[in-house]
Chain A
């Protein structure tokens, strides 16, 4: 009957008792507490319309509506219990969208491990699945994405710095490559999401950011491949993907150092190997 909360020395994350969705994050050290509503949704891939025959495909992201669908309206959430090293919350959005939110003892970030697939397409609707974070950060249409993990570039909704943009695609026209991180901020607070792989991302409204985690399409974008982006996988029903987002919520001044260090650790993560009962002679 109560909200579910997990916490460590640095963060406290609250999940709504009714929806099962993340609804607030507290940075205990800096005293920042903001509502963070996170959900998994999907855009319906366009099969072309009167404005353009362009279909959504591997090269082209073109949803047929700016409003995504919820992966589920009947989410389930489970707390793994009190543990010495890691606190976990399991979220099931649907039979093909899961998530585990983790807080490790002594680790200053929130880990979100998403699992999506096999994406169902029996309804003949191609789906492009996103994870969306909505906050009260007054980002005012500005967001920041990295370029190959190097320079972080400022992006502004419906704007290009070197020409006058006639925006015809309200969603796809604001999507940018995210190779390792995306963030939004106002004068005081910054929410940073680091990714474990390249994804598309955007901020379509103030305080919100979203990342596309998986897609399965039935149309063909006519860019030379002549096959839709519809990998069926080993069992013929579509691929299952699993990845991680790492969240940082802190002041603007302290976030830069944190996401640079964490980005290094994500890119060059430890390599785990195993030997027999007698430890191998290591040099």
Chain B
């Protein structure tokens, strides 16, 4: 509660003062955005991570995926994506993850619950990462789905089956 209150308080200040819309002096807007809201967001990420993993792991959040920037995914050959759906109904959403790719590598995405390999598309772009990995995530109501993502040399991929490691939790 104390951690999520940091963002609650920051949002209260921001809404009361019409923050970050040009209706304050610039140094005040900077304080709203850089210190109060960003700090509140950081604390809430800790809350979400500890709730979803019961404190056993630290999940990484990437705030700049809209400009195709995520150090974690760009510098990992194998990682897990956890996608949470806050809606009270199931949805299917395309997920776009910044990755660095070369022509000799491909990405394999496995839905961990079913073990199904998903159709993916790697598109080149002019963002910070040179590629974006796109796939369709089927998400349950008020719940999450998780995906194992691995970068393979394209020649080796055809010869072996991908087996996810770790405990699969439905």
Q: Which residue of B lies closest to A283 (CB)?
A: B54
B94 touches A57 (CB 8 A): no
A-B contact count (CB 8 A): 145
CA distance A57 to B23 in the complex (A): 9
Instruction: For residue A133, give the distance in angstroms from its CB to the closest CB of chain B.
Output: 22
Subset of 13 A-B contacts with CB under 8 Å: A57-B22, A231-B26, A265-B93, A270-B86, A272-B83, A275-B60, A275-B79, A277-B76, A277-B165, A279-B146, A280-B52, A280-B57, A282-B52
- Is B56's CB within 8 Å of the partner chain A? yes
B23 touches A58 (CB 8 A): yes
Interface residues of A, count at CB 8 A: 38
Pick out which of these stretches binds chain B: A80-88, A137-145, A205-213. Answer: A80-88
Interface readout for B52-84 with A: 1 if CB under 8 Å, 0 if not?
111011011110011100101100101111111
Interface residues of A in 76-111 (CB under 8 A from B): 80, 83-86, 88, 104-107
Interface residues of B in 1-19 (CB under 8 A from A): none
Which residue in B22, B79, B94, B134 is a CB contact (below 8 Å) of A225? Answer: B22
Which residue in B66, B87, B120 is a CB contact (below 8 Å) of A242? Answer: B66
* Chain A positions within 8 Å of B80 at CB level: 274-280
B65 touches A272 (CB 8 A): yes
Q: Which residue of A lies closest to B139 (CB)?
A: A270
A280 touches B121 (CB 8 A): no
A283 touches B76 (CB 8 A): no
A270 touches B59 (CB 8 A): no
- Is B130's CB within 8 Å of the partner chain A? no
